[in-house]
Amino acid sequence: MRDRVRHPLVAVVIALLLTVPWIGVFATYGGYGTVHPGENIAPIVAVVVGGFAILGAAFLLAWAAETAESDVPQAFAIAVLAVLAVAPEYAVDALYAWKAGAGSSEAANLAVANMTGANRILIGLGWSGIALFTIYRARRAHDPAVERRSGFLADVVTLDRRLSTEIAFLLAATAYAFFVPFGGGIGIVDTLVLVGLYALYLVVIIRGDVEESAEHVGVPAYFQGYPRVPRILVVLLGFAFSGAIIFTAVHPFAEGLETLGLQYGIPEFFMIQWLAPLASESPELVVVAYLVNKARSTAGFNALISSKLNQWTLLIGTLAVVYSISAGAVGTLSFDQKQAAEIWITAAQSFFAIAVLTNFEISTREAVALLVLFGTQVLAEFYVIQAYSEPTLTSVSMTVLYAYTAAYIVLGVGLFVVRRDSVRHLVKRTVSNARAAFEETPGVPENAD
């Protein structure tokens, strides 16, 4: 009886059952885009039902990605997981970009605000929170990725050096992002550069080795025991089903949170930049926390970095495409100076976070620094919104953004200078990976030391 209870399929069934109420709501109201919290469904119902569905789908997504590691490079499996986990963020931003193409200048600003908020949450809460959770968890269960060191908040999470490719491509995208506001908006050139960067990254990791799969337990181990064809079908079904649940449930979930927030006096623009992205990033954070809890910290951080990379390339790049389709002609998604400042602080935060990872470690101190910088900036922004009215509000808000941008850049430059040997090693390793990927026989092992 005990063996039956522990069968891996029991966990799969439980995860599926979590999605059933949302499937019922989705079918009742006729499909995607028809569930509107506050109109045809109570906000609290949308939050609870949608939240449980996202949770269940996140576990299914994680299991599918882990199972896929026996057939494709781990980095590629994680990249697919990252794209699906943040797909809701694409949907929300695409909606605003579409409205902007139809003539709404405010929608263009909201698209940028939502995009920058999502990116900053991923690092400010995601990278820092998962690092702290990893170190905390290691106090109770052994995690080979965590090293205990003497000193104040000195314990570190060590990362697999194979993440050099992701880090280097993210650095390239971040460097380019600083120049986006100078073009007056997000245009087709930005699309070509940023989407091109991500396509190149995919080519490099797809043509890499299929690493020896990590030893799995539970659901992934069970499905990896299947013959190849049924195993691949399970993976594809897991990706498709969980992706569909997450894609359809997150928007009503976020709208429900926004509606509840408005009832308690939280400004709408603040919610669109912070509350909605937090909801759309939740599947990714659940998946990574699950991986860390299994002592797979490297895979967890791979997912976080991959998510940041695809949001910082595909998400920005596709906004111009959606805008142009809506407008009926190739155009530029224009935004105001406030949103230009939002892009700069987001790029600066990314620059500092990459500097932290150049030695393939993130310490407790560094994680706390990321969290405190992010948290204090959001709180300062909230205070400004509450305390001032236009035009003073925008002026003070931009001053706060510029101050934090400068702080991130100074800290980032300092770390890059101190860790210049690590940066050279990272670049050398990435170049070696890329060269191996384009040789006639793909999958040449990495040999850069």
Inform me whether the pLDDT recorded for 189 exceeds 80.
yes
Q: Which range is least confidently modeled, 59-68, 130-139, 325-334?
A: 59-68
**Max Cα distance, the chain (Å):** 69
pLDDT of residue 208: 61
How high is the pLDDT of residue 395?
92
Selection from 29-38, 69-78, 185-194, 422-431 with the highest mean pLDDT:
185-194
- Among 37-51, 151-165, 245-259, which is the least confidently predicted range? 245-259
Indicate whether 445 pLDDT > 50: no
Q: How confident is the model at residue 448 (pLDDT cuts 50, 70, 90)?
A: very low
- Grade residue 4 by pLDDT with cuts at 50, 70 and 90: very low
Higher pLDDT, 81 or 240: 240
214 — phi, psi (to 5°)? -60, 155
pLDDT reported for residue 5: 47
* Chain segment 286-319, per-residue pLDDT in tens: 777 777 777 667 777 877 888 888 888 988 888 9
Amino acid 3: pLDDT: 43
Q: Judge whether residue 349 has pLDDT over 80.
A: yes
Q: Does the pLDDT value for residue 109 go beyond 70? A: yes
Span 125-170, pLDDT tens digits: 989 998 998 888 888 777 788 888 888 888 999 988 878 888 999 9
> Residue 215's pLDDT band (boundaries 50, 70, 90)?
low
Mean pLDDT of 225-229: 86
pLDDT digits 0-9 by tens, 384-401 = 988 888 889 889 999 999
**How many other β-carbons are positioned within 10 Å of the β-carbon of residue 430?**
21
Judged against a pLDDT cut of 60, whether residue 29 lies above it is answered with yes
Q: What are phi and psi of 224, to 5 degrees?
A: -70, -15
Question: Nearest to residue 440, comparing CAs of 210, 207, 209?
Answer: 207
pLDDT of residue 32: 64
Q: What is the mean pLDDT of residues 179-207?
A: 89
Band of residue 85 on the pLDDT scale cut at 50, 70, 90: low
Q: Using the structure block, give the residue that is written with the tokens 């990379």.
A: 309
Superfamily of domain 2-437: NCX, central ion-binding region (1.20.1420.30)
Instruction: Tell me the three-class secondary structure of the chain, residue by residue.
Output: CHHHHCCHHHHHHHHHHHHHHHHHHHHHCCCCCCCCECCCECHHHHHHHHHHHHHHHHHHHHHHHHHHCCCCCHHHHHHHHHHHHCHHHHHHHHHHHHHHHCCCHHHHHHHHHHHHHHHHHHHHHHHHHHHHHHHHHCCCCCCCCEECCCCCCCCEEECCHHHHHHHHHHHHHHHHHCCHHHHCEECHHHHHHHHHHHHHHHHHHHCCCCCCCCCCCHHHHHHHCCCHHHHHHHHHHHHHHHHHHHHHHHHHHHHHHHHHHHHCCCCHHHHHHHHHHHHHHHHHHHHHHHHHHCCCHHHHHHHHHHHHHHHHHHHHHHHHHHHHHHHCCCCCEECCHHHHHHHHHHHHHHHHHHHHHCCCEEEHHHHHHHHHHHHHHHHHHHHHHHHCCCCHHHHHHHHHHHHHHHHHHHHHHHHHHHCHHHHHHHHHHHHHHHHHHCCCCCCCCCCCC
Q: What is the mean pLDDT of the chain?
A: 83
The average pLDDT across 59-87 equals: 74
Burial of 142 (0-12, 13-18, 19+ CB in 10 A): exposed
What are 156's strand-pairing partners? 147, 363
- The better pLDDT of the pair 5, 430 is held by 430
Tell me if 88 sits within 8 A of 246, measured CB to CB. yes
pLDDT band at 443 (very low <50, low <70, confident <90, very high): very low
Judge whether 27 and 51 are in contact, CB under 8 Å.
no
Half-sphere exposure of 325 (CA within 13 A, CB side): 9
Q: How confident is the model at residue 447 (pLDDT cuts 50, 70, 90)?
A: very low
- Strand arrangement, sheet containing 361-363: 146-147, 156-158, 361-363
Q: Cα separation of 224 and 9, whole Å?
A: 13
Domain ranges across the chain: 2-437
Give the confidence band of 442 by pLDDT, cuts at 50, 70, 90.
very low
CA distance 114 to 380: 18
